[in-house]
Amino acid sequence: MPDRRKLESGMLVLAVFGALLFVPPLVFVFNQRISHFGIPQIVIYLFVVWALLIAGTALLTHYLPKHVPPDSGDGGG
């Protein structure tokens, strides 16, 4: 099983990379008068990036072990 710290780093990289994929200069590259199956290219780009980020998050969280909080040590009273 992968180390928890590596998976948390992967989540950070995925979030930063996902944010970079949605910056306007990159998104506007796909704002062309091209359509695939009647759908504008920019819509396909945004939907595919969104779906891949969700799939990547689901995959990483699936392998992330459950966090067990440390015992508070109050004696349970």
pLDDT of residue 22: 92
Alpha helices (runs of H) in the chain, residue ranges in sequence order? 4-21, 24-27, 41-63
pLDDT of residue 15: 92
The radius of gyration computed from the CA coordinates of the chain, to the nearest angstrom, equals 19
Q: What is the pLDDT of residues 22-70, one digit of tens each?
A: 999 998 998 888 899 999 999 999 999 999 999 999 988 888 777 666 7
pLDDT of residue 24: 92
Who wins on pLDDT, 65 or 77? 65
Inter-residue contact 57 to 11 (CB < 8 Å): yes
Q: What are phi and psi of 37, to 5 degrees?
A: 55, 35
Q: What is the pTM of this model?
A: 0.74
